[in-house]
Amino acid sequence: SYELTQPLSVSVALGQTARITCGGSNIGSKNVHWYQQKPGQAPVLVIYRDSNRPSGIPERFSGSNSGSTATLTISRAQAGDEADYYCQVWDSSTVIFGGGTKLTVL
Partner 1 sequence: EVQLLESGGGLVQPGGSLRLACAASRNYAMSWVRQAPGKGLEWVSAISHSGTSSYYADSVKGRFTISRDNSKNTLYLQMSSLRAEDTAVYYCARDRTLGTRPHDAFDIWGQGTMVTVSS
The answer to whether the beta carbons of residues 47 and 33 sit under 8 Å apart is yes
Q: Which is nearer to partner 1, 38 or 76 (CB)?
A: 38
Specify the 3-state DSSP secondary structure of 24: coil
- How far is Cα 101 from Cα 91, in angstroms, rounded to an integer? 21
Residue 13 Cβ vs partner 1, minimum distance, rounded to whole Å: 26
Site for partner 1, residues 62 to 101, rule: CB under 8 A? 84, 86, 88, 90, 93-100
Q: How far is the CB of 52 from partner 1 (least distance, A)?
A: 9
- Bridge partners, residue 71, by sequence: 21, 64
Site size with partner 1, rule: CB under 8 A: 24
Min separation Cβ 10 and partner 1, Å: 15
Binding mask 16-45 for partner 1 (x = CB under 8 A): ---------------x-x-x-x----xxxx
The number of beta carbons lying within 10 Å of the beta carbon of residue 4 is: 22
Element (DSSP H or E) covering residue 18:
strand 18-23
Minimum Å gap between C-beta 15 and partner 1 is 28
